[in-house]
A and B are shown apart, each in its own frame.
Chain A
Amino acid sequence: MTVNAPKLDMDRIIDDRRTRIIVCCGSGGVGKTTAAAAIGLRAAERGRQACVLTVDPARRLAQSMGLTSLDNTPRQVDGVDTSGGGSLHAMMLDMKRTFDEIVEAHADPDRAAQILANPFYQSLSSSFAGTQEYMAMEKLGQLRHSDEWDLIVVDTPPSRSALDFLDAPQRLGRFLDGRLIRLLTVPAKAGMSYMKVLNAGFAVMTSALTKILGTQVLKDAQTFVTAFDTMFGGFRERAEWTYRLLQAPGTAFLVVAAPEADALREASYFVERLAAERMPLAGLILNRVHVSPAARLSAARSLAAAETLDLHDRPDGGDGGNGTGPRYGLAAAVLRMHAERMNLGKRERRLAEHFTSAHPAVPVAEVVAQPEDVHDLDGLRVIGTILSQQHA
């Protein structure tokens, strides 16, 4: 199938030395990680010093890139054609370790130890909701800052919403500016006397908080917030820096979607959000599209032909049936299979057109469904080639 949209020119993006960051985003299960790995590999083999930052790869895909453990440092990938002068590194994000490292780097040893031991910190740093997004962005910032690679390809975390990573810095900011945080840090900053002048709502709040959480939790939270207080500013600053980095012209966002209603709806939403945030969108990768090598035979005609053969095969009709079994069984089955495939392709095209008519200017690259999952460099190369030969 080919949708009516401008074609995405992948090689132009990866060959352009000004492209420094490629972000693959989209809802879960659409092949973001595979796309990111394929792009990283292709870029490396076309001469870029590429690094793929991945969050949650399939085991065999990770193995294919030599990623056997979460060690939070980019590792060189073997088996890459480096004759063009490029190289490929890959790493899997360890969010807890990334977080710990930030704490250790930005607090004196005593305070760092205090923070690392706090139950709130432990909950925050090892939970999945939100932290992964902050840490992915943090790590991206670090890799970019190190300037060891000239292209970083990142796939975004499989969050409940594909947009969480965009919201992460803002949410952190809102959180840090929240009245609760200020109230929690008050005793440490100004002593109890200051509390007296706070409004009457405070009494209600502490009583309610105590009721829900209990005094111990409140105390732990307070300790945590106080210990963390000095680091908060740095956090927000870096989050904002990364956010601006994402808006910069050297960044290319690729929205990845499967030709399914939910994934495309999410993609649509994403495209709008990126525009609203002034983030540079490069295009849509429409992954796992079903095409037929025999597309000239329509579904309707194929199905009608299958029915004709069924009639032939009836003992009382047609030319062939004599009770010894269907003569045209194979042909009828093939025609039915073909009709189904054509219908699936048609439905996918309709869904894709839904997207392209709402976003006619967004370049699209289609990747046909592979008969089997990709789990080696050759498979990634195939995807990379498909991505780059959209106008061939």
Chain B
Amino acid sequence: MTTRDTDWDGVRLHVVTGKGGTGKTTVSAALALALARAGRRVLLIEVEGRQGIARLFDCPPLPYEERKVALGLGAKGGEGGDVYALAVDPEGALLDYLEMFYNMRRAGKTLTRIGVVDFATTIAPGLSDVLVTGKATEATRRRVAGRNSGHLYHAVVMDAPPTGRIGRFLNVSTEVADLAKVGPIKTHADTVAKVIRSPQTVVHFVTTLEEMPVQETLDGIAELQELTDGTIRAGGIIINMSRPAMLDPAGLAAAAAGSLDPAELVLGLKAAGINDNHGLAADLMTELSEHARQVALQDRERDELLTAGLPHYELPMIPDGIDLAGLYQLAARLREQGAA
């Protein structure tokens, strides 16, 4: 596959959302690894203070500082690029903002001390959201110093708040406009919104093939469209923790209908040296029919997701739990399917 051949060429800010428990952070990390081809630098940003990235990459808690955490997924036999990570919190983002635009870091510390950050997070979450998304867009736009060519990061992946909150979180300029009609924070919000609403940014939805996450994904896609008039682009749907079918479709249908012949199984068990004691074969048949029902449920939910008409990718359940090796496996799957 050539490097010009992915579904998201031209996208530089990948916002990843999903219902709690669907593996949003894991998928964000895998996407960052997949995007970091040789010679490329990718930044993975976490915004909810959970230190999930540090846990995944098995490194100490991330400070408010961009740090290299892993090598990207290389092409066959080669090394990948660099994956950096950053944990953004509203307080750090506020200090950053003051320093960057007003050269006022010390005043910022005073503000923190007297509770401006508390104020922003408690009374006007829109304000802290704009600071946090502002950091992500700043990193997206940042260019290599001293040269007039090239962005510092080839792409930025943001592990964003869950689906229920994503619309408001990204709709910064409108949220802030309700509070500030004019003024510096409004100007800042507009700059941030310009990046988020450009074709450079997409929002990916992570889901599992279960009813609630699927419903929430579809609602989230609709809400994003409605809140922002389609100016914030939905990206792909990433199905996580999918369980592979262990039988062909005909076999599954028969298993679900209970029309498989247990004698065939008994014979097989015997050939493998397992006696059908105490109805073992019958119990295994029960298990098989449960499996078949589950696969059928997954298929129904997948069809439902496809009604959104977005590109979709499917990642398998990693049975032993997610470790670094598992992350690279997921990254490889994402790349195979054209997500990166």
Contact = CB atoms under 8 A, between A and B. Distances in A.
A216 B187 CA distance: 14
A254 B156 CA distance: 39
Contacts of B162: 28, 158, 160
Given A28-B20, A58-B212, A216-B182, A337 B115 contact: no
Given A212-B98, A294-B287, A312 B246 contact: no
A208 B108 contact: yes
Nearest to A180: B115
Nearest to A60: B211
Interface string A138-168: 0000000000000000000010110000000
Most central of A171, A214, A331, A371 by chain B CB within 10 Å? A331
Interface string B108-127: 10110111101101111111
Contact of A309 (B94, B111, B272, B280): B272
A23 to B, nearest CB: 18
Interface stretch (A65-73, A80-88, A123-131, A189-197): A123-131
A41 interface: no
B97 interface: yes
A171 B284 contact: no
Contacts of B111: 205, 208-209, 212
A194 to B, nearest CB: 17
A309 B264 CA distance: 13
Contacts of A371: 290, 293-294, 297
Contacts of B260: 330
A27 B110 CA distance: 34
Contact of B268 (A29, A60, A328, A373): A328
B212 to A, nearest CB: 5
A183 interface: yes
A218 to B, nearest CB: 9
Interface stretch (A99-107, A236-244, A257-265, A383-391): A257-265
Contact of B286 (A293, A372, A373): A293
Given A28-B162, A60-B211, A331 B271 contact: yes
A214 B294 CA distance: 56
B119 A181 contact: yes
Interface string A247-263: 00000000000101111
B215 interface: yes
A172 B123 CA distance: 10
B5 interface: no
B284 A128 contact: no
Interface string A363-386: 000000001110100000000000
A113 interface: no
Interface string B280-299: 10011111101101100100
B267 A331 contact: yes
Given A128-B125, A205-B107, A294-B287, A123 B118 contact: no
A97 interface: no
Interface stretch (B71-79, B141-149, B172-180, B222-230): B172-180
Given A174-B118, A263-B21, A128 B164 contact: yes
B51 to A, nearest CB: 11
A263 B287 CA distance: 26
B66 interface: no
Contact of A120 (B123, B161, B183, B291): B123
Interface residues of A, number: 84
Contact of A340 (B128, B178, B297, B319): B319
A216 B110 contact: no
Contacts of B48: 160
Given A175-B122, A208-B110, A328-B271, A294 B213 contact: no
A59 B162 CA distance: 18
Contacts of B118: 171, 174-175, 178, 180
B186 interface: yes
A220 B293 CA distance: 57
Interface in B241-265: 246-247, 251, 260, 264-265
Given A124-B123, A171-B122, A297-B280, A305 B97 contact: no
Given A58-B212, A124-B123, A333-B247, A292 B287 contact: yes
A10 B121 CA distance: 38
B156 to A, nearest CB: 21
Interface of A: 27-30, 56, 58-60, 119-120, 122-124, 127-130, 158, 160-161, 171-172, 174-175, 178-181, 183, 201, 204-205, 207-209, 211-217, 220-221, 224, 258, 260-263, 292-294, 296-297, 301, 304-306, 308-309, 312, 319-320, 327-328, 330-338, 340-341, 343-344, 347, 371-373, 375
Given A129-B121, A213-B127, A216-B183, 6 more contacts: A29-B22, A127-B124, A205-B111, A212-B111, A212-B185, A335-B284
The 7 tightest CB contacts between A and B, nearest first, are A214-B183, A28-B20, A331-B268, A29-B21, A178-B115, A305-B272, A294-B283
Interface of B: 19-22, 48-50, 52, 94, 97-98, 102, 104, 107-108, 110-111, 113-116, 118-119, 121-128, 161-162, 164-165, 168, 175, 178-186, 210-213, 215, 246-247, 251, 260, 264-265, 267-269, 271-274, 278, 280, 283-288, 290-291, 293-294, 297, 319-322
